[in-house]
Amino acid sequence: MNNKLTLGIFGFGVVGQGLYDIIKTKNLNLAIKKFVIKHPEKKRSLPAELFTTDAKAVLNDPEINTVVELIDDAAAAFDIVAAALKAGKNVVSANKKMIATHLKELVDIQHQHGTSLLYEGAVCGSIPIIRNLEEYYDNELLHSISGIFNGSSNYILSKIFNDNLAYDTALRQAQDLGFAETDPTLDVGGFDAKFKLAIVASHAYGLYIAPENILNIGIDKLSTSDIQFANEKNLKIKLVPTAREINDKDVILYVLPKLVSAENILYNVENEYNGVLVKAAFADEQFFYGKGAGGHPTGSAVLSDIAALRYGYRYEYKKHIDAGSLGYSTDWEITVYLRYDDEKIIEKLEFTSISERYYAQDFKYVIGKISLAKIFENRDAINRNGVFIAEIG
Amino acid sequence: MNNKLTLGIFGFGVVGQGLYDIIKTKNLNLAIKKFVIKHPEKKRSLPAELFTTDAKAVLNDPEINTVVELIDDAAAAFDIVAAALKAGKNVVSANKKMIATHLKELVDIQHQHGTSLLYEGAVCGSIPIIRNLEEYYDNELLHSISGIFNGSSNYILSKIFNDNLAYDTALRQAQDLGFAETDPTLDVGGFDAKFKLAIVASHAYGLYIAPENILNIGIDKLSTSDIQFANEKNLKIKLVPTAREINDKDVILYVLPKLVSAENILYNVENEYNGVLVKAAFADEQFFYGKGAGGHPTGSAVLSDIAALRYGYRYEYKKHIDAGSLGYSTDWEITVYLRYDDEKIIEKLEFTSISERYYAQDFKYVIGKISLAKIFENRDAINRNGVFIAEIG
């Protein structure tokens, strides 16, 4: 079975262009019929008849059997993807926010309409983590999945810890290189990593958890004191999303900065690279490392999905069907470093134990144990200038 | 499609036991009917009726639709696997030597009999490299695949470079831990890594290259002078198999010790871990890291293959069918460090250029460029005490 694919592609940005670059080098059984774009006035490198601004030109064209969705706007992307799946077309998307937010609905639509939605490019660019969770670790007992899922914030942290750049300088450099958006909150605030974590957790544990119920605190409140603290202890700070099965009933999910030592495999993941660490009962520690963003790495993941559609590939969502017994929990203690300005927050957070305290006029911190639920409850009080939290260990 | 599998398993060693441990924890649609063993007198942890010494009890049993081959003897393994495939049974094997040596024949048998042979466990234990080459990188332009494919020799090198152990002490420790065989040549001589490389090259480039045509030189001639040389330059020595597309017609394959710097991702692969580095045109650098050996990691790979057979999975060997245009070459220059005792070898090897020479009474080396073909031609002259070769860069 090698079905000829006729593609309609929404978006012609960096990933769309990357995809086009890849497809033209290959003798694949597929053709791009139409790109749907928003700005017809922009100069394009391809013939004008390939472009349209009308979504219906793709969605209503029976010859187009495969839709590739590569636009930024998550709400518009959902409408396109849902409509395409309902119209009997298979879909490839790289829109992590859209997928994380609507996953259950999208799975239901796939089942109702017998269509397939693939989204490897949405999670850690070229790293084939979804495919491996679906196909290869489908019978494994997965203790945890964690890693570095956001290239922009990792680039900034690398520049801070390896080249002694200030946070603002590193952020500007990341923006100049196209790794970070003009409004970088999605990246440095840990939202992008959280969307990816939600998708990963779904394929690892069969859970649909709405992103708003998952804790994410980013690296944007990092101060020179925090950096000095880490440096003195030969640690680096990384932004780490974590999914962990804490017992045979409960899974925890959170995104927090983390102080990591040289023994941690994430310590050496630098710049725009991503890494995914899978800990499993039998396979033990597996680590996947590669470029997490950029037109070509993401384009290559999107192309792998497109190629798989030629053979009728679909995610089985076996863990959603089989298990059903795992639930989502925030009842779990972690050890954190917390820099703060005002004692009140220490009371609020109800540390269950404190192992270190440091006071100076312009730098106060505690190290102690605290429940995820308490951090989540007080996330607005933590996520402001004057406070920085990072997991330890 | 979820076919019930009834298994006949050849071998009940560390991987067979690991597999049994995994299967019993899971509610899979499969049953183990029989283990074929060589030594009926050994005490077993399972009921006696599960064991037989008669291969025909499995091969001629129509109820057994899946054979798992986990024995050491490559010749006997080939007979079993070929017979099972011809008898209409699907097969999972972890025998790298057998597969590397007979791959073309095994592919032909699969095609003739419509059966499927999977062997993820044969290459780097738990790392899903074959599956990803088959499924995920099937449309990628692969520049190279290299890495650390042999856990025993890597364990020895880690002990030498991190803990200052002598080669013999490190080897004995590896043997005590069960990482190395009593006759360690297969591991430390680079043969095991070469078998894996041949299998990887087949799935990456569609080539069947007989192992005897692939250069392998191991780490067993390493001396304290070589170790000191590496240490002074902050390098480590790793045993690295390499497959590389050098132009659009030719692929080179070789296994050599390599001097790697801290910037190289293989520098931090320590002890019994394996790492596979894939460099691709679009996905860029991808790295897979995990446990390369041991009952559970290999057992988990074997189980993934068994589980995939429930869904009728088979390797497509697409690159063998599609491409056909790539050939195997040894016409390629690499830069090496060569410690030697007798000037004659330098003449023989016909270095095309020499950039460094060092002479002392008990330590002489050159650094220079040399063709793979010349190394292969003179492999016996190199592979003896008094000489050590390692790639640089």
Domain boundaries, chain B: 5-130+295-322, 143-291+325-392
pLDDT > 70? residue B1: no
- A286 in B contact zone (CB under 8 Å): yes
Any CB–CB contact under 8 A between A284 and chain B? Answer: yes
CB within 8 Å: A265 and B22: no
Range with top average pLDDT, A112-126, A175-189, A296-310: A112-126
pLDDT band at residue A296 using 50, 70 and 90 as cut-offs: confident
Give the separation between CA B318 and CA B342, rounded to whole angstroms: 48
Nearest CA in chain B to A275: B287
Q: How far apart are CA A205 and CA A198, in angstroms?
A: 10
Tens digits of residue pLDDT in A63-86: 999 999 999 899 999 999 999 999
Of A157-161, A224-228, B267-271, B387-391, least confident by mean pLDDT is B267-271
Which residues of A are catalytically annotated? 196
How much is the pLDDT for B18? 78
- The confidence band for A323, taking pLDDT boundaries of 50, 70 and 90, is low
Tokens matching residue B213: 């045509």
CA distance A80 to B348: 67
| Nearest-10 crossing angle of helices A151-163, A167-176 | 130
Q: Classify domain B5-130+295-322 by CATH number.
A: 3.40.50.720
pLDDT at residue A184, rounded to an integer:
92
Residue carrying the six token digits 């189980």:
B303
Q: Which of B128, B281, B285 sits opposite A132 (nearest CB)?
A: B128
Residues of B in contact with A265 (CB under 8 A): 268, 289
A186-200, B18-32, B327-341, B353-367: the lowest-pLDDT one: B18-32
- CATH 3.30.360.10 for domain A136-291+325-392, yes or no, is yes
Q: What is the pLDDT of residue B324?
A: 64
Q: Quick one: what percent of chain B has pLDDT higher than 90? A: 79
- Report the residue of chain B nearest A322, measured CA to CA: B27
Percent with pLDDT over 90 in chain A: 79
Nearest CA in chain A to B20: A282
Q: Give the count of beta carbons closer than 10 Å to the beta carbon of residue B348.
A: 14
Q: Least CA distance to B142: which residue of chain A? A: A300
**Residues of chain A neighbouring B315 (CB-CB closer than 8 A):** none
Q: Give the distance from residue B269's alpha carbon to the nearest chain A alpha carbon, in angstroms.
A: 10
Q: How far, in Å, CA of A188 to CA of A194, rounded?
A: 11
Q: What's the pLDDT score for residue B179?
A: 79
Quick one: fold of B143-291+325-392?
Dihydrodipicolinate Reductase; domain 2 (3.30.360)
Among A241-245, A323-327, B47-51, B130-134, which stretch is predicted with the lowest mean pLDDT? A323-327
Alpha-carbon distances of A224 from A57, A160, A220, A380, rounded to whole Å: 53, 10, 12, 22
Name the average pLDDT for chain B: 93
CB contact under 8 A, A135 and B138: no
Short-list A149, A122, A97, A182, CA closest to A273: A149
Q: Is B287 on the interface with A (CB under 8 A)?
A: yes
Residue B240's H or E segment, with its range, is strand B236-245
Identify all chain A residues contacting B136, using CB atoms and an 8 Å cutoff. Answer: 128, 131, 304
Contacts of A131 in chain B (CB under 8 A): 132, 135-136
The CATH number, out of the four listed (3.40.50.1460, 3.40.190.10, 3.40.50.720, 3.90.1150.10), of the domain defined by the range A5-131+295-322: 3.40.50.720
Please give the Cα distance from A205 to A138 (Å, whole number): 10
What pLDDT sits at residue A1?
56
Are A289 and B286 within 8 A, CB to CB? yes
Query: Which of A116-125, A294-303, A307-316 has the least mean pLDDT?
Result: A294-303
Which residues of chain B neighbour A127 with C-beta distances below 8 Å?
286
| Chain A residues lying within 8 Å of B281, measured CB to CB | 22, 25, 296
pLDDT at B87: 98
Share of chain A above pLDDT 70, in %: 99
**pLDDT value, residue A95:** 94
Parallel, antiparallel or unpaired: strands A51-52 and B5-10: unpaired
**What pLDDT score was predicted for residue B158?**
97
What kind and span of H or E run contains A333? strand A333-340
Q: Does residue B90 register a pLDDT over 90?
A: yes
Candidates A129, A300, A315, A321: best to mutate against B (most CBs of B within 10 A) is A300
pLDDT tens digits for B296-310?
888 889 999 999 999
Of B22 and A354, the structure prediction assigns the larger pLDDT to A354
pLDDT value at residue B322: 66
Cβ of residue A258 closer than 8 Å to a chain B Cβ: no
Active site residue ranges of B: 196
Interface check A288 vs B, CB under 8 A: yes
**Over residues A30-54, mean pLDDT:** 92
- Give mean pLDDT, residues A323-342: 92
Decide: helix, strand or coil at residue B230: helix
Confidence of residue B13 (pLDDT cuts 50, 70, 90): confident
**CB-nearest partner of A126 from B22, B25, B284:** B284
Q: Nearest residue on chain A to B303, judged by CA atoms?
A: A139
CA distance B252 to B135: 23
Instruction: Tell me what ipTM this predicted complex has.
Output: 0.87
Residue A112: is its pLDDT beyond 70?
yes
Is the pLDDT assigned to residue B323 strictly greater than 60? no
Question: From the CA of B376, how many Å to the nearest CA of chain A?
Answer: 33
Whether B358 contacts chain A with CB within 8 A:
no
